[in-house]
Amino acid sequence: MKFKFELNSDTDLSKIVKYLSTISRVIEQDYKEYIKAESPKIQKLEKLVELTTYFQEMHDDIQKNIKPRIEKTFSVEIKNPNLVTIALYTPSTKNSFMELDKYIRKRHPEVYDEEIFEFMIRFGDIAQGLATLGDSALKLSLTHILWNEGIIEKGKITKAKERIEQNSNLSKYCDAIELYQHRIFIKSKFFDPKPSTIKHIKGTLIESLLGIYYLEKGFLGVRKLVKSLEDQQKKFDELTIQE
């Protein structure tokens, strides 16, 4: 049965996790053989070993520490935990997966799976798609909640929404569960973000989580999560007053 690209709450992402583990073992075995043979290609293969190790270690850390923290902080349950890992990938990983694709395709056609590699190459784009979905769900949920609370004038709705959906506010939730520190990215010497850019990235990460919850629980589920965000915002407001 071929892997399907449609991403929803029921998509079996465990196959991708297992496949990444498989190619990691294959590359590590090649690396050991290269060392014995004193191959000049050792440096290139060492880079691939570091990549697969990094991806796996981040996945394990996210599943062990970040997913439970998300569920506890916002009082939610995530049905498809591997979605959390994908939500934390950035587009900077695209070229790295393309390098892995090229190596496995050429050296190990017996384990090469084109569909899975195409999906992994798109991890960063998928994460951004989840954020777009989450952003839309957040805006609609906030408007619905405010309307039910009697806030029906455009200006008042806009002002009230900003308390939650501004990047400066969303970044607080991101800090509370350490999402920014656990995003999966490839370092670049050209990446030196300004504070405003970092806040935007943090806000996008929270929106990705909302995108996941929309896939799993629909609009009603997101409304519940947004109410939790409101409660968190009140706590932040109280701390600010005390300071």
| Number of C-beta neighbours around residue 152 at 10 A | 11
pLDDT given at position 9: 66
Q: Which stretches within the chain are classed as H helix?
A: 14-37, 42-61, 67-74, 82-87, 94-107, 114-121, 123-148, 154-165, 167-176, 195-242
pLDDT band of residue 194 (cuts 50, 70, 90) is confident
Which of residues 171 and 38 earns the better pLDDT score? 171
Q: Which pLDDT value is given to residue 241?
A: 42
Confidence grade of residue 170 (pLDDT, cut at 50, 70, 90): confident
- Mean pLDDT, the chain, as a whole number? 84
Each residue of 59-76: pLDDT tens digit? 999 999 999 999 998 888
**What is the model's pLDDT at position 164?**
66
Tell me the domains of the chain and their CATH numbers: 124-243 (1.10.1520.10)
In this prediction, residue 226 has a pLDDT band, given cuts at 50, 70 and 90, of: confident
**Angle (CA) 219 221 226, round 5°:** 90
Q: What is the pLDDT of residue 232?
A: 60
Task: Choose among 86, 95, 115, 105: nearest CA to 26.
Answer: 105
**pLDDT recorded at residue 105:** 96
pTM of the predicted model as reported, rounded to 2 decimal places: 0.84
What local confidence, expressed as pLDDT, does residue 239 receive? 46
CA distances from 41 to 44, 48, 103, 110, 142 (A): 6, 11, 12, 21, 55
Q: What is the pLDDT of residue 24?
A: 94
Whether 1 shows a pLDDT value over 50: the answer reads no
**Contact between residue 48 and residue 139 where contact means Cβ atoms under 8 Å apart:** no
pLDDT in tens, 110-168: 999 999 999 999 999 999 999 999 989 888 887 777 777 776 676 766 666 666 667 77
**The pLDDT of residue 126:** 95
Q: Which of 29-38, 129-138, 228-237 has the highest mean pLDDT?
A: 129-138
Q: What is the predicted pLDDT for the residue at 240? A: 46
How confident is the model at residue 237, as a pLDDT? 54
Burial class, 86, CB count within 10 angstroms (exposed 0-12 / middle 13-18 / buried 19+): buried
**Given pLDDT bands bounded at 50, 70 and 90, which one contains residue 195?**
confident
